[in-house]
Chains A and B, each alone.
Chain A
Amino acid sequence: GESVGLHLPTLSVQEGDNSIINCAYSNSASDYFIWYKQESGKGPQFIIDIRSNMDKRQGQRVTVLLNKTVKHLSLQIAATQPGDSAVYFCAEGSGGYNKLIFGAGTRLAVHP
Chain B
Amino acid sequence: GAGVSQTPSNKVTEKGKYVELRCDPISGHTALYWYRQSLGQGPEFLIYFQGTGAADDSGLPNDRFFAVRPEGSVSTLKIQRTERGDSAVYLCASSLQVGIDYGYTFGSGTRLTVV
Contact = CB atoms under 8 A, between A and B. Distances in A.
Please classify how large the interface on chain A is, using the bins under 10, 10 to 19, 20 to 34, 35 or more.
Answer: 20 to 34
Given A45-B106, A46-B104, A102 B55 contact: no
A4 B88 CA distance: 10
Contact of B100 (A2, A32, A102): A32
Interface string A76-102: 000000000000010101001111111
Q: Interface extent on B, as a size class?
A: 20 to 34
A44 B37 CA distance: 11
Contacts of B40: 4-8, 104-105
Interface centre among A4, A43, A105 (most CB of B within 10 A): A43
A107 B67 CA distance: 32
Given A6-B40, A44-B91, A45-B106, A99 B99 contact: no
B103 A46 contact: yes
B100 to A, nearest CB: 5
A91 B44 CA distance: 10
